[in-house]
Amino acid sequence: QVQLVESGGGLVQPGGSLRLSCAASGSIFSINRMGWYRQAPGKERELVALIFAGSSTKYADSVKGRFTISRDNAKKSVYLQMNNLQPEDTAVYYCKASIIRFYNSRSNDYWGQGIQVTVSS
C-alpha cells in the first residue's frame, strides 16, 4: 500500500505565498518523477510542475518564475513553493509520484487526495 498525503493549502490574498508538501508512505523502494497538478472548477486537470529523480525540473508557463518545486528523497517528499499567487491559481492541487515498490519491479503512478488552494481578497 502506498499513500501520498498533501498539506499546506488554504486561503491566501493575491500576491501572497503558500508552500505545499506531499509525503509518500508505505512500501516504497524508490521514487522517480514527482509532480504537482491542479484542477480548477469546470476545467481539466493540468500540470503545474515536475521534478525528476536527478532533480531537473519542468514548469507550466503560467507559473514559471513564481512557483518552485523541490524534493527531499530521504523524506520521500515533494514541495511546491508558490509565490505571488493570483486568483487564477485557485484550484485543487494534487501531487503525483512515479513509485517503484519493490526491487526490479516496474514503476506505477500514485496520486494524493488533493488539497484546496484559494487566492482571494
Residue tagged 518564475 (cell numbers): 65
Percent of the chain at pLDDT exceeding 70: 100
Question: What is residue 54's predicted lDDT score, i.e. its pLDDT?
Answer: 85
Q: Give the pLDDT confidence of 40-86 residue by residue, as tens digits.
A: 999 999 999 999 998 899 999 999 999 999 999 999 999 999 999 99
| Terminal-to-terminal C-alpha distance of the chain | 40
Instruction: Give the integer Cα–Cα distance in Å for 21 and 34.
Output: 12
> How many Cβ atoms from other residues are within 10 Å of residue 5's Cβ?
14
